[in-house]
Structure 1
Amino acid sequence: MKNGLPLAIDVVEAPASKIDAVDFENLVFGNVFTDHMMMCDYEDGEWQTPRIQPYGPIQLEPSAKVFHYGQAIFEGMKAFKDDEDQVWLFRPEANIDRFNRSSVRLAIPEFPKEVFLEGLETLLNLDRDWIKQGFGSSLYIRPFVIATEPGVSASPSKNYKFMIICSPAKAYYSGEVRVVFAEQFSRAANGGVGFAKAAGNYGAQFYPTNLAKQEGFQQIVWTDASTHEYLEEAGTMNIFFRVGDKLLTAPISDRILDGITRKSVIALAEEFKVPVEVRRVTVKEIVEAAEKGELKEMFGAGTAATINPIKGFGYQGKRYELPEQENSYASFFKTKLMEIQYNKAEDKFGWRYLVKEK
């Protein structure tokens, strides 16, 4: 962007859509992508002209620094379509702010918020037909930036590529979810990059998650790196515990992601007078609550899954199953969130963002 000013977005439309070949009732999360993508390169100390073009492969040098030093961050967002065929985003500015906080932590230039939003709206309008109506249907949006400068010297890249790709989505998890409390591995440490959506955070958790899956669990709930006494977040979600009628969740820190869905649940809890405590939660108190029958629910919160109930957990070789709740908090908060996202309820918080047709 010359002189810091956004330039017009160059648009090259796909010659034909591949939408008719997609079975929208049987989607595997993140496997199908829309007709177009957004791209913008950082060169000579500034972001260049953004462009939208047909979705397809990109070319990189084998020595591109993203492959060697992991300078890569991303975000997760969703677009929703209401009964009137209007398209909505949910708290997009919070995602963009977090995207840029992640960039700063990995020494990547921040991307201008106005250009991000303008480009995203243009992209969503081009691929509007890929956004389907109905609860549970959405368009998952994946903005990311990678280091593209050729060279294997251990230093920040001088060149970057910002991109947005989109994927129609149904449910993220299918089937019941059970978790294991981490006793050995940790997701992040003090002073690290746990608060950022750095690609390496997710790559590093695959191995311990695979070990958990071998034991019959779907995810890990990470504990703090220092003592493994405090519960922090699940593999792809922030996590909530319902003890009695009280909702507990860990505070954000430089280890824990500032989840958009997480803080929306906290705001809804306060709105509907559900007692909520944001504080450090110990493994010991949750195990004891489970043994006494006081642990009523656990659920994850994140963009991809929205709200995902957790049926049970494991710790030190023991397994704990949670009781079925007739009026669960997980179901309540998921319904309230989706009613706002799909424009079926009043948005007192100003979270909805209308994507205007152009």
Structure 2
Amino acid sequence: MTTLKDVAKLANVDISTVSRALNNKGYVHPQTKKRIMNAVKELSYRPNLLVNGVKKGKRRNICVIIPSLFLSMFGELVQLIEEKARDYEYEIVIINTNDNPDVEELSLKKIRDSYADGLLLVSTGQNKRLIRDINLFDIPVVQIVRNQTDLLSSVDVNYFNCAHEGVYFLHKCGCDRIALINGIMEIRPFYDRYKGYSKACSELDIEDLSINNNYHNMNFFNNGYDKFIELIKKYENIDAILTANDLQAMGVLRAAKDCEYEIPDELKILSLTGYSMGDLLETRISSMEMPLEDIANKSLELLINKIKCKSDYTQVEHITFNTSLNIRETT
């Protein structure tokens, strides 16, 4: 596959010069631009996109990188992003990484050499340097849901407060053996949730009964099921469980019913990343609800402004929303 680097080498110019020429951004000497266009033609470098790019000066494509579409809030979030993007007359390209850093790296490198106007990203946190390079390479980046680096703009949620408030809610429900089934701590929302949970446990003088994952695992249903069994073997008299997301809560709910727990009388379950699915189950899951529509709207607004203004993409803005408690049948 021909890349910008190949075009730059044949035209004997820098990659940044090729980018400016193809995107009609910044001054490029006419003779230099002609040489670049000849190199593009000779190497057959994305000719159809090239024609559109040169004529319009834009492609109106936004890449959205997410961990998973399967039974997760990301599927709903992507739909909201796509609907909002149409209002701006943009189309989106969806990339699913399964939260695999290697897959993410490969996808990012393809985006770097593509004709994307911008990137919305739910990152694993393992490719920060590459992401910053893309942001400097004429493709603005906005992190969504996970603020993995403060050096790039982001739209996310206050996960610390989410878990902190969740513990206090369960404690007010009469629970004092409150466990947390979390995710991998290298991913910032999981880390922040644990800190909020730990802080609340300390303030209420109750035991920390948390279990974290030490590897990337997108099979949250099985993970919730297995971690529940691990919890009840490790700790006695657990009367409430916080989970990192709804799918994990579903696994806990299934395991609890298999173990003949009465929900919510003997065990209360609260998801810390709730979305519409929790309301569709036979036993509806209580949750700290994610403001997905707000995240979709604000992240697109932020990214489109960066694209249209052709501003310095190193300018950083962080937007943080709060979750809201939705009491259903598991508490």
Place the TM-score, normalised by the shorter chain, in its bin.
under 0.3
Give the TM-score normalised by structure 1.
0.23
Give the TM-score normalised by structure 2.
0.25
More helix by proportion, 1 or 2?
2
More strand by proportion, 1 or 2?
1
Task: Indicate the structure (1 or 2) with the bigger Cα radius of gyration.
Answer: 2
Kindly indicate whether structure 1 or structure 2 has the higher relative contact order, using CA contacts under 8 Å at least 6 residues apart.
1
